[in-house]
Structure 1
Amino acid sequence: MPLPKENQEYGTREYWNLRYTQEDPDTPYDWFKSYAELAIHLRLLIPDKTARILVLGCGNSKFSEDMWEDGYRNIVNIDYSPVVIEQMRARHADSRPDMEWHEMDVRSLSFEDASFDVAIDKGTMDAMMTSSTSVWDPPEDIIKDCTAEVSEVLRVLRPSGTFLYITFGQPHFRERFLTGPNSLRTKLEIKVLGEFFHYYMYVLHKVD
């Protein structure tokens, strides 16, 4: 897979379009945790397998495919790379014709208010943070982008909906984006995943 010359390229559409053009479209890649590694948590957090689920920045991961095979059949996937969306739509057209694939930016979702029960981000917000040289003092554009994603997710979540964010980012670097101006209408839980190298699952409940 082509690696960027600088980490901030991970936050650009151009990099991802080039990467997905050069990679084998039949070879999926999962960032961070696979569905199998997260399934025990997800089944508890999403007990209703008819829930409408939005996967943010799906890439060419097997995550949605594996979730579908586990019985979740109402999954909508978005990514801002048109290249990977076309690849994924073609890959699943016959085997999972009801699964949706849309080219879309997580900072400006085209869905109606209160139209999903669950939204899942597995590394997408992290990609937007790569242009920062300091996790302690991120630039204003990163704060704006990450806050926009969370605000848009909360807008499209139904009352009592849940936003699941999986990352290696520690709480003192990530909580500010998940709460901030939304703290009065959300409740945040944090689950630590793994024994040696920790990942985190941030569970943001919409309470309004």
Structure 2
Amino acid sequence: MPADFEKQSYWHERFSSETCFEWLASSESFMSIIEPYLSRHSLTCQGSPRILHLGSGTSDLHNCFRLRGYLDVTNADYEPLAIERGRQLEQEAFGDVRMKYMVADATQLSCNLSHDQKFDIVVDKSTTDAVSCGGTTALSGMASSVRQCLADNGIWISLSYSSARFDIEQLPFDVEVIARIPTLKLKENDPVIYNYCYLLRPK
């Protein structure tokens, strides 16, 4: 049976002992895909982009942002232990904590954000996969939630194991696959399996 990825109780139990884990791809690999979009925003808007990292978990992606000089980063997860781990990872890497951390449900971000709080780039590393375990309604809720917190010309970049993750009705985004990342083969003759990186632009 699949794990209960959509349940907070699963993540609470997992994060009680887990200190660091990367989903689908290393943060460095994911950053190589995200970086051109971050740089483009910095050039066109003449400022650092406001970044929302959804489902930050125990990934070190947030530290990759900071290492490249992006400090206006809000790391969000609905399990408080993940937020605690994120702060610890930043403290250990840099000696202080300068990024923001927020306990929030990805399907109900408006409950934790002020009405005028908007982001230029929202990123998630397989958070859509976990949310999708709750069904299409949950994923639709996440999409609507992300749409509401995006600034004008904002984008959402999502990494998923599914080649059809956003094949849902009334999605408020135009969707494009911007990268396919091959998974590690266990045997030489195994078929090539990819993870998919999506770019979503509001309609």
Question: Could you say which TM-score interval applies, normalised by the shorter chain?
Answer: 0.7 to 0.9
Aligned-residue offset at 1:203? 0.3
- 1:100-179 matches, within 5 Å, as 100-109=100-109, 110-111=112-113, 112-113=115-116, 115-130=118-133, 142-171=135-164, 174-177=165-168
Aligned-residue offset at 1:96? 4.5
One-letter code of the match for 1:33?
A: A
Which of 178, 195, 198 lines up with 1:202 in the alignment? Answer: 198
Tell me, what secondary structure is at the counterpart of 1:39? helix
1:176 to 1:114, Cα distance in 2 relative to 1, 3 A: farther
Q: Please tell me whether the aligned partners of residues 79 and 104 of structure 1 are also in contact (alpha carbons under 8 angstroms).
A: yes
- 1:173-188 matches, within 5 Å, as 174-177=165-168, 180-183=169-172, 186-188=173-175
Aligned-residue offset at 1:205? 1.1
1:54 to 1:118, Cα distance in 2 relative to 1, 3 A: same
Match in the other structure for 1:37: 29
After superposition, the C-alpha distances for 1:83-129 in whole angstroms (9 at most, x for unaligned) are 12123224434635221111110011122356100101111111123
1:42 to 1:192, Cα distance in 2 relative to 1, 3 A: closer
| Length-normalised TM-score, structure 2 | 0.82
Distance 1:53 1:102 in 2: 13
Match in the other structure for 1:12: 7
Distance 1:187 1:115 in 2: 19
Distance 1:190 1:113 in 2: 30
Distance 2:171 2:181 in 1: 28
Q: Is there any run of 5+ residues in structure 1 with no aligned partner, and where?
A: 1-5, 131-140
Deviates more, 1:149-158 or 1:87-96: 87-96
Which of 36, 48, 52 lines up with 1:54 in the alignment? Answer: 52
Match in the other structure for 1:137: none
1:145 to 1:197, Cα distance in 2 relative to 1, 3 A: same
One-letter code of the match for 2:17?
A: Q
Tell me, what secondary structure is at the counterpart of 2:16? helix
